[in-house]
Amino acid sequence: MTNGPEDTRTMRERMDAGELYIADDPELGEMSSAALDLAQAYNATTVRQGPLRRQLLEELLGHIGEDSEIRPPFHVDYGSKISIGDRCFANYGLVALDVAPITIGDDVQMGPNVQLLTPTHPVEPQARKDKWEAAEPITIGDNVWLGGGVIVCPGVTIGKDTVVGAGAVVTKDLPDGVVAVGNPARVIKKVTD
Enumerate the H helices of the chain as residue ranges.
Answer: 11-16, 26-43, 50-60, 125-129
Distance separating alpha carbons of residues 174 and 55, to the nearest angstrom: 33
CA distances (Å), 125 to each of 21, 65, 132, in order? Answer: 16, 41, 10
Choice among 71, 121, 160, 186 that is catalytic: 121
Q: Let me know if 75 is a catalytic residue.
A: no
- If you compute the radius of gyration of the chain from its CA atoms, what whole number of angstroms results? 17
Which residues are catalytic, by number?
A: 121
